[in-house]
Structure 1
Amino acid sequence: MQAWLFTLVILPAKSNVIMHLSLVAYFAILSILVQPAQVWKDQLGRVALLSGILFIMLGLSTDSAPSLISSRAPPPSMMGLPPFPASLEGYKYVILKLGPLQLTRKGLSTATTSACLTFTIFQSASVFLSTTTPEQIAFALRWFISPLANLGVPVAEVILTLLLSLRFINLVFDEVRNVALGIVSRRINWQQLTTLETIDVFFTYIHRIFRNILVHAEQISQV
C-alpha cells in the first residue's frame, strides 16, 4: 500500500494534464467506494475547495507579472529575414485575460499540476489512514526498513515510536471532540458574552485540551 501510494504521488509529477485529472477522478471514486458517506462528502468537499483555490491563484498569477528581461536580438525584419509564420492551428499563448491578470498556457499547466498533486496527496493520505490500521502501517514500514538494522539503525524503536504517534493522534482527536461536546452540552449563549468573555472561554477549553493531552502522554511514557 505504501509503495503504491508513493508511486501514484511521485510518478505523475511530470505527467500530462490527462494523467493528473485521471488520478483525481480515480481517488474521488475510490474514496466514495471505500469510505463512509459522511466521511468522503466532507473530505472531498474540503480538498476540492483547497485545490480549486490553489488552481485559481496559480493560474492567474503565474504569468501576470510582466517580464523584466527583454531579448536583445533585433526583430527578423531588420535582419532581412521573413517574419515568423502564424500557426495554422490558431495557437494562442494567452487563454484568458482579466484586467492585470491573465491565464496562459504556462499558468494553466502549473496550476493544473499543483492542484491535482495537492488533491492526490491529501486524498490518498485520507484513504490510506482510513482503510489501514496503525498496526498494519507499522508492520509494513518495519518490513521496508528492516535491512537498515544491519547498519545499526534501531528499527524496533523507530516502529514503536511511529505506532505510539499514530495512537496518540487518535487521543488528540478524542480530546477535542470531548471538549466540543462539553461546550455544546453547557448551552453557552455566545451572543450575551462580551469579546473578552468569549476569549476567556476559548482559552479555558484550549488549556483543558492540552492538559488532558499531556496527561495521556505521561501515561503512555510510563507504560
Structure 2
Amino acid sequence: MDWLPTGGFAADKVFKLISTTTASPIYQFIASPSTFLHSVDPRIKLVWLLALVVLPARSHIIMRVGLVILTSLLSVWILPKHVWMDQLGRVSLLSGVLFIMLGLGSDGIPSPVQLRTPPPAVMGLPNLPVSLGSYSYLLMKLGPLRFTRKGLSVASTAACLTFTIFQSSSLCLATTTPEQLAFAMRWFMVPLTHIGVPVGEIILTLLLSLRFINLVFDEVRNVALGIVSRRINWRQLTVLETIDIFASYIRRIFKNIFSHAEQISQAMIVRGFRGDSRTHKIYALSESSVGMADFVSLFCLVSVIGAAFLSEYFLV
C-alpha cells in the first residue's frame, strides 16, 4: 500500500535544529576565557547550587525574581556570548511556558459550585461590598481562565526554580572540571563511609557520567549533521520512509554510544580495574588554595541567604 507523500513536512528543519542545539557546549567545561568563577572552590559551588535549589522554593516572589536576575547576569558575565545567548534563550522559553501554564491552570478555572444560601437580593438585604480594601484575589481574567494570587505563587515558584536549577548547574559545569566536582562530592560524602555507603563507587560513577555527557551530545550532533549533509529531499518521501529515517537516526545514536561505553570499559579493564573502586586511586583535585574569590563567594552566599530569610518577615 502506497503512503501519501509528506508534502510540507520539513523533517530537515528538525535535524538542523538538533544539530544547532548541540553545537554549543551544553553542560561542558569551558576552559577559556578563565574567569573568577573558575578559581572558586568547587565545594563552595556545590553549596551555592543547594542554596539556589532551596531558596526559590521558600522565599518571597521578589527574592525568586532577584535570584533569576542574578543568575542571568552571572551567565552573561562568565559565559561566552554565543553560549549564554543560546542557553538563556532556551531556559527562558521553557520557564515562560511553564509560568503561563501553571499560572492559568493552578487556580484558573472556577469550580461549578452553587451556594446553598440565597443571594442577598432575594432576602431583601443590600449587597455587601466585595472588599473594603485594595486586596484582590483575582489578578487577571482571560475568558474562562483566571490568573489568581495562588496561580502567581505556584507559577513563579516553578518557573524561577526551573530557571535557577538549569542555569546554575550549567554555570557550575562550565567553570568546573569533572575532577574538581568529584573531589567536592567526595569531600562532603566522606562521613557516609562510616555507615557503609560506597562513596568510592558513587564518585567513580559521577566522574564517568560527567565525562560521558560530552560524548552523548557529540554523537547526537554528528549523526544529525551526517543526515543533513546528505541533502535528502524530504518532500518526495512517504510518511513511512520519514519515520524509518528517524528510527535509523535513533538506532545509530544508541549504537555509537554503546560502542563508546564498550571502549571505555575495555580501557579501564586493561588498566587493571576489576570493579572495586577502593583498590584504585581516583586522581581528582587533591589540594585547593583559598583565595579572594572564595571569600567573595562565601560573603555573597551569606548575603543571599540572609536576604531570603528577611524577605519572609518584611515582604508579606
TM value normalised by structure 1? 0.87
Deviation at 1:140, TM superposition (A): 0.5
Identity of aligned residues (%): 66
Q: Identify unmatched segments of 5+ residues in structure 1.
A: none
Paired with 1:20 and 1:93, the residues of 2 have a C-alpha distance of 21
Q: Does 1:87 align with 2:132?
A: yes
1:118-157 aligned within 5 A? 118-157=162-201
Q: Give 1:108's aligned residue.
A: 152
Q: Which amino acid aligns with 2:233?
A: N
Are 2:102 and 2:154, in contact at CA under 8 Å, matched by a contact in 1? yes
Q: Give 1:13's aligned residue.
A: 57
Number of residue pairs the alignment of both structures matches: 218
Paired with 1:70 and 1:155, the residues of 2 have a C-alpha distance of 59
Deviation at 1:68, TM superposition (A): 6.5
Name the one with the larger helix percent: 1
1:139-178 aligned within 5 A? 139-178=183-222
Paired with 1:180 and 1:214, the residues of 2 have a C-alpha distance of 18
Question: Structure 1 residues 54, 148: CA separation in 2 closer, same or farther (over 3 Å shift)?
Answer: same
CA deviations 1:172-194 (Å, max 9, x no partner) are 11111221221222222222222
Question: Structure 1 residues 12, 195: CA separation in 2 closer, same or farther (over 3 Å shift)?
Answer: closer
Deviation at 1:71, TM superposition (A): 8.2
Paired with 1:156 and 1:212, the residues of 2 have a C-alpha distance of 28
> SS of the counterpart of 2:232?
coil
Q: Does 1:202 align with 2:235?
A: no
Paired with 1:85 and 1:208, the residues of 2 have a C-alpha distance of 64
CA deviations 1:154-179 (Å, max 9, x no partner) are 22121111111111111111111221
Deviation at 1:74, TM superposition (A): 10
Q: Give 2:36's aligned residue.
A: none
Paired with 2:158 and 2:69, the residues of 1 have a C-alpha distance of 15
Q: Give 2:224's aligned residue.
A: 180
Question: Structure 1 residues 96, 155: CA separation in 2 closer, same or farther (over 3 Å shift)?
Answer: same
Q: Give 2:287's aligned residue.
A: none
Q: Give 2:74's aligned residue.
A: 30
Q: Give 2:94's aligned residue.
A: 50
Q: Which amino acid aligns with 2:139?
A: I
Q: Give 1:2's aligned residue.
A: 46
Question: Structure 1 residues 86, 192: CA separation in 2 closer, same or farther (over 3 Å shift)?
Answer: closer
Question: Structure 1 residues 181, 12: CA separation in 2 closer, same or farther (over 3 Å shift)?
Answer: closer
Question: Structure 1 residues 200, 173: CA separation in 2 closer, same or farther (over 3 Å shift)?
Answer: same
Are 2:186 and 2:199, in contact at CA under 8 Å, matched by a contact in 1? yes
- Larger mean CA deviation between 153-162 and 65-74 belongs to 65-74
Deviation at 1:98, TM superposition (A): 1.4
Deviation at 1:133, TM superposition (A): 1.2
Deviation at 1:84, TM superposition (A): 8.0
Question: Structure 1 residues 43, 84: CA separation in 2 closer, same or farther (over 3 Å shift)?
Answer: same
Q: Which amino acid aligns with 1:174?
A: D
Paired with 2:237 and 2:115, the residues of 1 have a C-alpha distance of 64
Question: Structure 1 residues 63, 146: CA separation in 2 closer, same or farther (over 3 Å shift)?
Answer: same
Question: Structure 1 residues 71, 15: CA separation in 2 closer, same or farther (over 3 Å shift)?
Answer: farther
Question: Structure 1 residues 51, 185: CA separation in 2 closer, same or farther (over 3 Å shift)?
Answer: same
Report the RMSD for the aligned CA atoms in angstroms: 2.4
Question: Structure 1 residues 142, 105: CA separation in 2 closer, same or farther (over 3 Å shift)?
Answer: same
> SS of the counterpart of 1:51?
helix
Higher relative contact order (CA 8 A, sep 6+): 2
